[in-house]
Amino acid sequence: MTENKRQKQVARQIHKDLSEIFQKDLKSLFNGAFVTITDVKVSPDLSIARVYLSFLMVTDKEALLEQIKENNKKIRSLFGNRTRHQFRIIPDFHYFIDDTAEYAQKIEALFANLDIPPAPENDDEDDKIYTR
């Protein structure tokens, strides 16, 4: 499903404002955890925003996600105050953990641990040019 121009604009605005809310207004609420918004996807009717989060300096990511979900009303209120003249309807935020960075690290670690033998020395077969 592709997003239209309006969905992308709304998603960018939500990303920007929620990032500021998490970094400035709610920093103390999450015990110093660094919450980053990696992506926002908005439904075609602009009523639901899927917010993908990444956490740094956090041991229990699921617990922090639950804490964010419990404070959703406060987050929506802060968001609504920031965007009251830009949005007719404040979307419902649905939060998800974005683990693509961790996945990429695991893949890189797998590649780093591969034991790839060196290429064979110059064979005569490699130097031949085949023509028809």
pLDDT (tens digit per residue) in 68-77? 999 999 999 9
Q: Residue 132 — pLDDT band, cuts 50, 70, 90?
A: low
- 67 backbone dihedrals φ, ψ, rounded to 5°: -65, -40
For residue range 80-113, what is the model confidence (pLDDT) as tens digits?
999 888 888 899 999 999 877 777 778 888 888 8
- The mean pLDDT value for 101-129 works out to 73
- Pairing, β 34-42 against β 92-97: unpaired
2, 102, 73: which is closest to 42 by C-alpha? 2
pLDDT given at position 128: 60
CATH superfamily assigned to domain 5-112: K homology (KH) domain (3.30.300.20)
For residue range 3-56, what is the model confidence (pLDDT) as tens digits?
789 999 999 999 999 999 988 888 778 777 888 899 999 999 999 999 999 888
- Whole-angstrom distance, CA of residue 121 vs CA of residue 119: 7
Helix (H, G, I), strand (E, B) or coil at 71: coil
pLDDT given at position 13: 94
